[in-house]
Structure 1
Amino acid sequence: MSGTRSERLGWLGTGRMGTVMAGALLDGGSDVSVWNRTSSKTAPLVEKGAKAVDSITELAGVDIVFVMVSASADLIKVTTGEGGLLSAERLPQIIVDCSTVSAEASAEVRAAAEAAGVAFLASPISGNPAMVEDGRGAIVASGPRETYDRVVPYLSMIAPTVVHAGPAEQSRLVKICHNLFLGMITQALVEVTTLAEKGGVPKAAFVDFINGSVLGSTFIKHKGRALVERDYTPTFNNKMLRKDFDLGLAAAREMEVPLPVSSMVHQLIQTAIGHGFAEQDYAALYEVEARAAGMLDGDAS
C-alpha cells in the first residue's frame, strides 16, 4: 500500500515498539496523530511528520486508533477509563490494539467498544523493535473479518506477515503461545550451550555450529550472540516474559491443557528475576543455567 488512503490514524503509546510501528505508518504516507503519557517520547515521530496531541480524547476523532501499551490494565485504562478513548464526544471508527494482553482484558474492551459503536481488532505483534524496524515482524489479528480487511493495509505497512486468526480473541492466545515458545526455545538453547561449554567447547563455536545446522534460525542467531557475549541489553526483559508465562499458564489451566515444559521454564524465569535479571533480556536465562552448572559465581560481565 502506497499511503494513498485518506483515513486519519491515531497512535496511542510511543514506547520503543510503538515508535517503530507508528513510524512505519508515517513512512508509508499515512496521516498519524500520536499521544504518549510521557509527551517527550513522541518527538521522533513528530520529526517524521506526526501530529502530537495533548490528551487521549484528542485522538478519538480520527478514523482508526492503534494502541500499544504494556499490560492489560493499561489497555483498559486508556480505552474505557476516565479520559480514555471511549469517553470522548467523537469516537474513532476502529480501535486496533497491538499490545500483548490477556484475552479477558481484550474481550472487556471489545464489548465496551462495540457497545459504543466502535469496531475492535486485537492485533498483537511478534518481534522486538529492531526486528520490526528491519521488516521482520509478524502480526496476528482477530476480530470481525470486515474490520480486519479495512485495517490490514496498515498492518502490512508494519509487518510483512499479517494473519487473521478468528472473529474474537484468538490472536491473544496465538501471541501468548508464541511467547511461551520463545521462553522454551531459549531455555533449551542455554542448556545445550552450557553443556557444550562445560565440556570444553567455546560458546561461539557451538552457536556457530547450531546456526549452520537445520536448527539455525534468525532467533537462534540473535540469542546465540547474546549468550556468547553475555549481553543482556533488553529486547524483551524477564519481567515481561514472566507476565506472558503467567497469562499462558492461566489460559492452560482454564482449558485443562497440561504445560509441563512451560511450567518449568516459568520457574526458571522467576529464578533469573531473583538473581537480579528482572529488567534484562531473557537471554539471561543462561546465567541461571551456568551458575547451576558451577560455571559462574558473579554478575554478568
Structure 2
Amino acid sequence: MTEKPAIGWIGLGKLGLPIAGRIAEAGYSVTGYDPASDRLALAAGRGIEGTAAMESAARADVVFSCLPDDRALRAATLGEQGLLALMRKGAVFVEISTVSPEASAEVAKAAEAAGVHYLRVPISGNASIAHTGNLSCFASGPKEVFEEILPMLATFTRAQVHLGPGEEARYAKLAINLMMAATAVMLGESLALARRGKLDWQDMLDVLADSAAASPMVKYKVGPLAERDFTSTFSCKQMIKDLDLIIGAGRAGSVPMPLTALVRETYAAIVARGEGALDFIAPVKHTEWLAGLGEPERRTSRDADG
C-alpha cells in the first residue's frame, strides 16, 4: 500500500475504541461502527468518524473487528447482510477478538467466498493498556497481507508475530489465556499457604516478584495485590468465556485438559459467589475465603519492623 488505506472498524467497546483511536492518531482515516450511540459519541473525541450503519465502515480498504464472542462474530460477519457480504472484493478483514477456532474457520470460509483477505490477529493485553500501544498480537492468514498491514498493527502493538496460514493465532491466544488463568489460581493457593506460614503479605509479594516464578503477569499483578485492588482489567466472567473456548478446542483436538477443567470450576465458584466482575486475579481472594483467612495485615511502612 503506497498510501494510507481507509480503515473501517466494527465494535467500539472498551478495547476496540482505544485501539481504533491509536490508528486514527497515526493519520489513518477511520470509520467506526457500533450500535451504541454513546460509543459513537466517544469515538468522535478520538478522531474516528462514527456510524450507526455497518455498511459505511465495511466499504473501507481494511476493516477491523473487535467483538465479544463467537455469537457476536457470526452475527456481524456472516449472512447476506453481514460484514463480509458488504466488503468489496480484494479488501482485507482483520479480526482481533478472542474467539474459537471453529467460529474463525467459518468466517475464513465466508471470506474466501466473498473474495476478502482474512487475517486472524487476536490481541494479548487488556483495555487498561490499549491506549498505550503496549499490546501484542499473534497473526495467522496470508503472510503477504500481514506484512502489508504491519504499519497499522504497529500503531497499537509493541510486538507482532505471524504464526501460519490458518487458525494458528487463535490457538496461540487460547493457550496463553490458559496459562494466565492457571497462574492466577496457583497464585491464590501459594499466597494462602504463605499466610498460613505467618509470612507478611508484602514480604511474600516482594519475594515472589524476585523469584524464578515471577512471570511478567505475576510481576504486573504484584502492585494491585499489595493494595488489595481487585478492580477488573479482565474479569472472572470474561475468563470463564475464554476457558470454555479453551476446553472446547481441547475436546475438538482430543487434548485432555483435566487441570483446565478444575481452573474453570474455580472461576465458576467465584461467579456463583457474586464476584464475577472482579479481576481474573480474584482466585487469590477466593482461596483466602476457602482457607478461612481474612484480610491480611499490611505494614504502613517498609521499615516498621526495624
| Alpha carbons of structure 1 residues 273 and 80: separation in structure 2 relative to 1, 3 Å | same
1:60-117 deviations in whole A, cap 9, x for unaligned? 1110100000001101111114642123375670110000001111111111111011
Distance in 1 of aligned mates of 2:153 and 2:186: 32
Offset, 1:149:
1.6
Question: Mean alpha-carbon deviation: is it higher for 21-30 or for 100-109?
Answer: 21-30
Aligned to 1:37: 35
Distance in 1 of aligned mates of 2:215 and 2:21: 27
User: In 1, are the aligned partners of 2:25 and 2:47 still within 8 Å (CA)?
Assistant: no
1:244 to 205, 229, 242: 242
Offset, 1:217:
4.1
User: In 2, are the aligned partners of 1:180 and 1:245 still within 8 Å (CA)?
Assistant: yes
- Where do residues 47-196 of structure 1 align in structure 2 (5 Å cutoff)? 47-81=45-79, 83-88=81-86, 90=88, 93-196=91-194
Distance in 2 of aligned mates of 1:40 and 1:90: 29
The share of aligned pairs that are identical, in percent, is 34
- Whichever residue aligns with residue 41 of structure 1, its letter is R
- Whichever residue aligns with residue 55 of structure 1, its letter is A
Question: Mean alpha-carbon deviation: is it higher for 197-206 or for 233-242?
Answer: 197-206
Secondary structure of 2:266's counterpart equals helix
1:190-248 deviations in whole A, cap 9, x for unaligned? 11111112222222221112112333344213322333333221111111111111111
Aligned to 2:286: 288
| Alpha carbons of structure 1 residues 32 and 133: separation in structure 2 relative to 1, 3 Å | same
Aligned to 1:261: 259
User: In 1, are the aligned partners of 2:85 and 2:114 still within 8 Å (CA)?
Assistant: no
Secondary structure of 1:157's counterpart equals coil
Distance in 2 of aligned mates of 1:49 and 1:182: 34
Secondary structure of 1:277's counterpart equals coil
| Alpha carbons of structure 1 residues 135 and 211: separation in structure 2 relative to 1, 3 Å | farther
Question: Mean alpha-carbon deviation: is it higher for 151-160 or for 288-297?
Answer: 288-297
| Alpha carbons of structure 1 residues 217 and 43: separation in structure 2 relative to 1, 3 Å | farther
User: In 2, are the aligned partners of 1:92 and 1:118 still within 8 Å (CA)?
Assistant: yes
| Alpha carbons of structure 1 residues 89 and 229: separation in structure 2 relative to 1, 3 Å | closer
- Whichever residue aligns with residue 95 of structure 1, its letter is F
Distance in 2 of aligned mates of 1:120 and 1:165: 14
Q: What stretches of structure 1 of length at least 5 have no aligned partner?
A: none
Secondary structure of 1:282's counterpart equals coil
Aligned to 2:22: 24
- Whichever residue aligns with residue 239 of structure 2, its letter is L
- Whichever residue aligns with residue 257 of structure 2, its letter is L
| Alpha carbons of structure 1 residues 89 and 189: separation in structure 2 relative to 1, 3 Å | closer
- Whichever residue aligns with residue 123 of structure 2, its letter is I
Question: Mean alpha-carbon deviation: is it higher for 288-297 or for 92-101?
Answer: 288-297
Which is richer in helix?
A: 1
Aligned to 2:270: 272
| Alpha carbons of structure 1 residues 129 and 176: separation in structure 2 relative to 1, 3 Å | same
| TM-score, with length taken from structure 2 | 0.90
| Alpha carbons of structure 1 residues 43 and 218: separation in structure 2 relative to 1, 3 Å | farther
User: In 2, are the aligned partners of 1:5 and 1:30 still within 8 Å (CA)?
Assistant: no
RMSD: 2.0
Distance in 2 of aligned mates of 1:228 and 1:246: 30
| TM-score, with length taken from structure 1 | 0.92
Secondary structure of 1:276's counterpart equals coil
1:249-273 deviations in whole A, cap 9, x for unaligned? 1211222222232221111111111
User: In 1, are the aligned partners of 2:132 and 2:156 still within 8 Å (CA)?
Assistant: no
